[in-house]
Amino acid sequence: MGFLRIGPTELILILAIALVIFGPSKLPEIGKTLGRAIKEFKTHASKVSEDLKVDTDDEKKN
């Protein structure tokens, strides 16, 4: 998964492009929305992991 690493140069380039496309007034709003989406994804992913663990533990008992 080495291709998913983003260095400081790439991050600055991405932010500069986002600034040009969306403008300075929209960036904080986009950041908040993205943060909420990531938080929701993590919450649901951990819930699914917990459910799978409970299911596999139940199968081992039977």
> Domain containing 40: what range?
25-62
pTM flag (> 0.75): no
Query: Would residue 20 count as lying in a domain?
Result: no
Number of domains in the chain: 1
Query: Would residue 16 count as lying in a domain?
Result: no
Query: Would residue 51 count as lying in a domain?
Result: yes
Query: Would residue 10 count as lying in a domain?
Result: no
Query: Would residue 47 count as lying in a domain?
Result: yes
Query: Would residue 4 count as lying in a domain?
Result: no
Query: Would residue 38 count as lying in a domain?
Result: yes
Distances (CA, A) of 59 to 29, 53, 56: 45, 10, 5
Q: Which amino acid, 54? A: V
Query: Would residue 15 count as lying in a domain?
Result: no
State CA 5 to chain mean position distance: 14
pLDDT in tens, 10-56: 989 988 998 999 898 998 898 899 999 999 999 999 999 888 888 77
